[in-house]
Chain A
């Protein structure tokens, strides 16, 4: 038993918490502790992950001689050890791990928890595949997840579904950990569907409100489309490669990419099918429509599930199966271009959105687009951005939640102004988050985004025919500018300027129409909570107020610190953790792209860094000019771009188009089938049902309980029976 074997425990701690919270949802006496049990389980999982982290990756940080070289020989060290992973070969794995590893070598451990499926050639165990990429994901999920859960203890304190909420959160962490730790595609798919289910439960947390229920259904159904592709992709991989285990798939795919083995023709479709799943889960075009609606869940859910962790599963999938994606020509290109397109598309919508959470929802979609560009150009930045984005987007959502909480469910940023004086801590924390999101130099977002764009543009310049990388990088730069602008538009509008606010619970002359169904639902929820507070002898505030330090603001402070120094620490200082780690993950088993390019007379990376810094500062400055300094300027800018702004504000009418193109024909079909069912099938069934009714009407007179009447029938029956028997015997 080495420390690596402790990973077996990690996902099951939240599972135990989920069981407790589930019981608490039934029995109210247990309810009070439910939140803390959930938080404790997640932090315990985090602590174990840290322990495993140091134990599982020995040798990774010893050898920094070739730190920056991605082109080193790629070998799979652990493959023969993994063949007998079932025989508790943890020690063998560990021995391999102890060896000095070269960059590009995969350092992985397979820890089997339970044998699961073993049918014919298919072998899928509940086993955990621990490589640096997995560990990074686990640290993000448990670390950021724990902080968000802590915040949620305060945020959800007065919610009627307190224990139910934390049950779903614990279950989500459980499923998400399985998603990233899975040793095979089947278990990964199980976790993938598990997080989908938890997402459904959490979006629909306020199930009394139609908007929440509809949003939950929408998220689930849109994800079904992607998941169908994912499932088909898994089938195809199993069919062509004969295994679902990463230990088998990754080397096989690598061999195909390197030309050592001929690829089965059908395998060319696998990346595109997997891509469909990744795009569905990560809300990329054209399956992006569910994420903005998903904001009708409680805000901590938006932070945890729909910003920091679950939606990044698609990025993780591409990173994990990078060699598979390289099999098909055009697959990585598609990923990069879709990512770039989505980044721009979502950024433009965020530009015109007036919904506090909506801006961040679209910004999440946009940032996920960046991540896809990153993994597509085999940049460390893809996963790096995933990590930093988890920090600052969680921070932003939670801060937005604080604002919403303070304003009793209000979401319309047009009705908010100058809240900085009332909520200085929240304003400050959100400012830090906005800086990181905008990519302000030397914040976390700056390093990761810069790395993505730098790698993309460098690749585009260095490789003949890599126009797609150049295009993606260019579009990314434009989206980065828009990001800086819309982020600070929001911040300046909400926290600067003359103080103005409208409480969501319309009191007195502050009454106003809710901006949207979502806002109306949120206001209702706040109203219910207010009643709950009053019922417990407290009195709710009628004016915005700062959130308490514990348990709500402290996690935000930690996230803010991570948002500022996270990128610097992970990428620039010391041993460059993130780069080193990813060099030993499955992502860099792939055949690397050439990487030496010059732009504007200097190293492309440096040039892009400078350009993106200028862009970020320019965006912030423009936002300050329009919305901080002189709001008339912003208004006239809005008026001048009214027609295009209208398109942006309505999300390019994507929802309406889908409603016309997909939903309407389905409804028509459903209507026709219903008509057929009620008019034809039902009537056939009814006619069949009429037969016994008629028989009963005809015969019920003979069944009145007169024993003697039955006797007569019996006599006649016996007579006839004997006669038939006689005829049959004698004849």
Chain B
């Protein structure tokens, strides 16, 4: 059953407050009200949660109340860090705040008992990808640029059209939230008549837990004894999250794995090609549109 809110207007007030707060937080020429903006945005988030709190039924939450409280905490950390990612004036700070976003979302996954994804997220995002970002930031930012080291680049200090962007973005957010909390409308009779379980059984019968299980049974019939033994060592009542994900990944998505491998190979080759492309360094940033000195040199050679 879709949930309904007593006062859906709370969502929209929250969205407006969030938009206003974010706008104030945006890096601008005069950085006067950033803290105030942060407070307003936080108040907006609080208003949103207050508005949706009423609909919660703690008896039938699906997860423990403790876990749900952790959900609030991790969400707050994640959303706050995300706001700081996009409002920090130094790229290094943005990257660091983003690490916090990753950690907070990993925490959210833990509350959902998605342990494998939580750790994969921390290792791959927080570890590999973010380190690459940090490397690039250190390579590029303030490396012999026109400004003194340590001073913020002008393009980091000034956001581009923050008003329009925030308006559009929060319009999208309002729509998404309206979809999440179908507060203003009566339930769609068709959707009500077809609960998700029914949909899955009728439309995706091979995606139900029982079907997946049956398929695994069939596949395992001639699997080597090691796997067999591994499965039997597991808790007789439930498989761990890692096992479930692994089985699903390799049993139901073999083609996806191949394609992912190809994509990684292609990006590897692409990265090598990009890295090998020789580009002459230029001491001064040139006005756009002027011909490239290297191009000019090539033209001169060609004409000679």
Contacts and interface: CB of A to CB of B under 8 A. Distances in A.
* Physical contact A–B (CB less than 8 Å): yes
Contact of B168 (A706, A716, A730, A731): A716
Contacts of A706: 160
Contacts of A715: 165, 168-169, 171-172
A729 B188 contact: yes
Given A718-B172, A719-B168, A730-B188, A708 B161 contact: yes
A678 B179 CA distance: 58
B185 interface: yes
B297 interface: no
B94 interface: no
B204 interface: no
Given A708-B161, A719-B168, A720-B171, 12 more contacts: A708-B160, A708-B165, A715-B165, A715-B169, A716-B172, A719-B172, A722-B172, A722-B179, A726-B175, A726-B179, A729-B188, A730-B188
Contacts of B164: 712
9 contacts: A708-B160, A708-B161, A715-B169, A716-B171, A719-B175, A722-B176, A723-B175, A726-B178, A730-B185
A396 to B, nearest CB: 67
A620 B267 CA distance: 104
Most buried by A among B169, B174, B182: B169
B161 A722 contact: no
A69 to B, nearest CB: 91
Interface string A67-79: 0000000000000
A498 interface: no
Interface residues of B, number: 17
Shortest 9 CB-CB contacts between residues of A and residues of B: A719-B172, A716-B168, A715-B168, A719-B171, A723-B175, A719-B175, A712-B168, A730-B188, A712-B164
Contacts of B161: 708-709, 712
Nearest to A708: B160
Contacts of A723: 175, 178
A564 B188 CA distance: 110
B187 to A, nearest CB: 8
Contacts of B179: 722, 726
A715 B182 CA distance: 21
Interface of B: 160-161, 164-165, 167-169, 171-172, 174-176, 178-179, 182, 185, 188
Contact of A722 (B175, B182, B188): B175
Contacts of A729: 188
Contacts of B178: 723, 726
B16 to A, nearest CB: 15
A722 B165 CA distance: 18
Contacts of B176: 722
Contacts of A716: 167-168, 171-172
A297 to B, nearest CB: 53
A718 B185 CA distance: 21
A708 B168 CA distance: 12
- Of the candidates A715, A729, A731, the one having the most CB atoms from chain B within 10 angstroms of its own CB is A715
Interface string A690-731: 000000000000000010110111011011101100100111
A709 B185 CA distance: 34
B135 to A, nearest CB: 24
Query: Among the interface residues A709, A718, A719, A731, which one has the most CB atoms of the partner chain B within 10 A?
Result: A719
A711 B165 CA distance: 8
Interface string A437-461: 0000000000000000000000000
A256 to B, nearest CB: 81
B20 to A, nearest CB: 18
A727 to B, nearest CB: 9
Most chain B beta-carbon neighbours within 10 Å: one of A708, A711, A712, A726 = A712
